[in-house]
Amino acid sequence: MATLIRMPEIAANATSAVIKEWSKKEGDSIRVGETLAEIETDKALIEFDADQAGVLGKILALTGKDIEVGAPIAVLFAEGETNVDIAAVLAAAGVETASGTPATAAAAPAAPTVPAAVPTAPAEGRLFVSPLARRLAKDHGIDLQGVKGSGPHGRIVRRDVDALAASTAGKNANANAGAASKPAASPAADLSDAAYVEVAHSGMRRTIARRLSESKSTIPHFYLSAACKMDKLMALRAEINASSARKISINDFIVKAVAAALKVSPQMNVSWTDSALRQYAQADISVAVSTDGGLITPVVRAADSKSLSAISGEVADLAARARSGQLTPQEYQGGSFTISNLGMFGVQEFSAIINPPQAAILAVGATSQQAVVVDGAIAVASVMNVTLSVDHRAIDGAVAAQWLALFQRYIEHPLSTLI
């Protein structure tokens, strides 16, 4: 018999997701394990595979729309099943239309349809206004109460406000006829008429915006900075890369140094919860990777116990698959500390926003030649500026300062992290 396919909970605690693309079309036969659709979570594209065989009878969910976890996205027919009453399938599962009544149309496999609910007229006294129309009305001082809109189902849209504004301007012009004119400043350009293209927010972009807004507004950040001399590290890196098949990056050394410092200073390897401070047994380092859809932070698990070459290979693999949307949720969820490196873009220094529920993030700038004082004399050295952002609820200033000094020592004496 026909069954509903529902939006899965692809990522832990996810409340919604977006179908990026259907891999099958209505009428296609489905085998167990075949990909039905690509689903966009807040961090990656995940292939959603069928867990039972049948025929994709009806697609209920449009691509690009945010859909709640558990909501029906398609109807799967049994092989050979015909004359399926889609409305009955939906009603039996307790699925209702926006109007509050079960869908009523039946459909056969060849062209099954479920009619969209017809929006009801606005309730008495309630205004249905587009955001642009509401803003324009406010700018013109127009009261929209009692206005009947020309949009769908009486919705007030821009042309209604423009007509009212023109009418009001005409009345004011007649009322002020004969009045002496005065020089007026040129009005500012109406930005609402400027040419633009709207790009719909992806699920990832919406989640990034929500999480970072929550982080910045609810986590008491404080910041510590340090300048790390890089000459010994760069010399060691050049020596390693001269004889190694795998080329080690500066960022690989940074991941290793962060993990080593967290191992020595476990008070930094923590996260805040309302009931307790959670201290982690291993250093799981999240490495920020920029993708077309936004920032994603794949995790190098137990980086404190891995060699420099192992870290290098894992970071390269995770970054490549992050950019192609091939990470699994387990590969980007979790992590006890984040590194955000913008040095390759020439950024000298910056402050990063903490990635909750973590309690710290290290912002890494570019390595550049700078004047330093060595034994009382001015010399030129390669210097990398870093800024540590810390959650003051979980970590005290002295603890963070000690950790940063430890990290600086590991960077300036890189062999100590390899022994």
Distance CA 260, CA 139 (A): 58
Candidates 207, 223, 281; CA nearest to 42 is 207
Q: Which residues contact 28 (CB under 8 A, 6 or more apart)?
A: 55, 56
Q: Which amino acid is it at 340? A: S
Distance CA 162, CA 103 (A): 38
354, two tokens: 């903490």
Distance CA 289, CA 340 (A): 8
CB contact at 8 A, 25 and 36: no
Q: Which residues contact 53 (CB under 8 A, 6 or more apart)?
A: 29, 30, 31, 32, 79
Distance CA 124, CA 119 (A): 15
Tokens 């927010």, residue located: 201
Candidates 210, 288, 215, 205; CA nearest to 18 is 205
Q: Which residues contact 83 (CB under 8 A, 6 or more apart)?
A: 106, 108
At residue 31, φ and ψ (nearest 5 deg) are -105, 155
At residue 386, φ and ψ (nearest 5 deg) are -130, 150
Q: Is 28 helix (H, G, I), strand (E, B) or coil?
A: coil
Q: What distance, in Å, lies between the first and last C-alpha atoms of the chain?
A: 64
Residues identified as active-site: 392
Distance CA 25, CA 46 (A): 18
Rg of the chain on CA atoms, in Å: 29
Distance CA 136, CA 191 (A): 11
Chain-centroid distance of CA 399 in Å reads: 31
CB contact at 8 A, 401 and 392: no
